[in-house]
Amino acid sequence: MFNKRKQSTPKKITRTLLPLVLLASTSANIQANEHTSAENVAKFATKIEADVIQWRRHFHQHPELSNREFETAKTIAKYLRSLGLEVQTGVAKTGVVAILDSGKPGPVVALRADIDGLPVTESVNLPFASKVTSTYNGQDVGVMHACGHDTHIAMLMGAAKILTSMKDKLHGKVKFIFQPAEEGAPEGETGGAEIMVKEGVLSKPNVDVIFGLHISSAKEVGTVHYRAGGIMAAVDPFKVVVKGKQSHGAYPWNSIDPIVTSAQIIMGLQTIVSREVELIDSAAVVTVGMIHGGTRSNIIPNEVEMVGTIRTLNPEIRKHIHKSVHNKVTSIAKSMNAQASVTLPLDYSYPITYNDEDLMTEMLPVLHATAGADNAKVTNPVTGAEDFSFFQEKVPGLYLFVGGRSKSITAEQAPDHHTPEFEIDESGMKLGVELLTNLTINYMTNHH
């Protein structure tokens, strides 16, 4: 057989190699086109960078809490209308959605930014620092964009500006989604991406693909971080109520002690992850964050209440942990002659933020062309959660992290998200604008 292959005619060899040559040539042309497009977008992003920074500073100085983003929404809607876009307000209470129609057939690409602030009092000494105060779940609080949502708004507004100016080069439609309440609705309310999806934000027109990003105070400016599959965890809060029998603290034998039972349950819950979950590929967390029971030192109470959270990056592990929490709680309580109930999920539940593998493969050259191959980095998944996952349950989507840490400080020195010290380097937003724009253009070009 080897000899027969060697004796094939030159004509046959040419026929065999020609598609490979054409494929290599086509691949080179695609890469060249991507770089050319990325260069053009980068020039435009540079022109509007000062505007993007100014927008961010405005939103940073005037933050609003979840489901209360009234002025934020007005500002966004006014700007989008100034671009000539079709704008819808009041989506999921305070959300804003705008449509850019190229007038040519093609896919519908959605781009999303979250717009709510947090009940955090800012301590960063900035000329545009937030001085806003409000009421959150009955408490007086400071309000701050302590997670970078102000930058997300500004970056998407920048992408809208560029894409609108390039309308004649687009194929299909772009749906700009400015989402409220990503941080969770106040007690007794609903909100966020889940409500947007229920209200039909991914239809009329039907969305084919969605892109989103999050600035990171720990990742260096100029870098983009990606991962196929689970990149952020599912979150499932839970509540456990343990009921026993009250007695004097001096006579514990007359009691069924719910406090001791709860201690046993907490230790038992820790064995779910440490002894039942294969952690080689997917992390998981079971945390009890609050426990309350009793009124004074010498009374064993009737009841103890615990509240906690479950974080998972794998759907099967998520199911297993849910089942095991119920089993552990009820079995341990029974062994202590107590009764226990589990509410899971407690009040809200976010799916895994899951990046479609095929879409990630397709879009990776765009990340390389936009940020530079050395600046596009695979990242480990995180056990934080994002309700962008509700969009990804319905359509293929990618969620990326963009660097917001100044090169003058280390990752260890960077302030954490959700803290009064949170701060980002505004020069990192330009890459975010470019990424949202280039991902849209590339997908439209490849799928019209």
User: Which structural domain, as residue segments, surrounds residue 278?
Assistant: 234-343
Token output for 200: 């039909």
What's the burial of 28, exposed, middle or buried (CB within 10 Å: 0-12/13-18/19+)?
Answer: exposed
Task: Using alpha carbons, select from 230, 260, 233 the residue that is nearest to residue 244.
Answer: 260
Q: Is residue 25 part of a domain?
A: no
Phi-psi region of 399 (alpha: psi -120 to 50; beta: other; left: phi over 0): beta
Task: Profile the chain (448 residues) by mean pLDDT over runs of 10 residues.
Answer: 33 37 43 70 97 98 98 98 98 98 98 98 98 95 98 98 96 98 93 98 97 98 97 97 98 98 98 94 93 97 98 95 98 98 94 97 97 97 96 98 97 97 98 98 96
Let me know whether 380 and 290 are in one domain: no
Which is the catalytic residue, given 34, 182, 226, 350? Answer: 350
Let me know whether 129 and 258 are in one domain: no
Let me know whether 225 and 361 are in one domain: yes
Q: What is the pTM of this model?
A: 0.89
CB 233 within 8 A of CB 421: no
Let me know whether 323 and 429 are in one domain: no
- Per the listing, tokens 């010498």 go with 298
Let me know whether 105 and 160 are in one domain: yes
Q: Give the domain-ending residue among 325, 343, 361.
A: 343
CB 150 within 8 A of CB 60: yes
Q: Domain tally for the chain? A: 2
- Cα four-point dihedral sign 425, 430, 432, 433: positive
Q: What pLDDT, on a 0 to 100 scale, did the predictor assign at position 38?
A: 87
Q: What pLDDT, on a 0 to 100 scale, did the predictor assign at position 31?
A: 53
Would residue 354 show up in a list of annotated catalytic residues for this protein?
no
pLDDT tens figures, 404-420: 999 999 999 999 999 99
Q: What pLDDT, on a 0 to 100 scale, did the predictor assign at position 279?
A: 87
Q: Is residue 67 part of a domain?
A: yes
CATH of the domain at 300: 3.30.70.360
Percentage of residues in the chain having pLDDT higher than 70 = 92
- 3-class SS of residue 74: helix
Let me know whether 45 and 153 are in one domain: yes
Let me know whether 74 and 152 are in one domain: yes
What's the number of CA atoms in the CB half-sphere (13 Å) around residue 21?
Answer: 6
Which is the catalytic residue, given 399, 426, 434, 443? Answer: 426
Q: What pLDDT, on a 0 to 100 scale, did the predictor assign at position 23?
A: 38
Q: Give the domain-ending residue among 343, 368, 399.
A: 343
- Numbers of helices and strands, H then E, in the chain: 10, 18
Cβ neighbours for 13, distance < 8 A, ≥ 6 positions apart: none
Q: Is residue 216 part of a domain?
A: yes
- Per the listing, tokens 């095991």 go with 324
Let me know whether 311 and 390 are in one domain: no
Let me know whether 61 and 186 are in one domain: yes
Let me know whether 188 and 239 are in one domain: no
Would residue 251 show up in a list of annotated catalytic residues for this protein?
no
Strand partners, 195: none
- 3-class SS of residue 430: helix
Let me know whether 79 and 41 are in one domain: yes
Let me know whether 302 and 439 are in one domain: no
Q: Give the domain-ending residue among 318, 343, 368.
A: 343
Q: Is residue 254 part of a domain?
A: yes
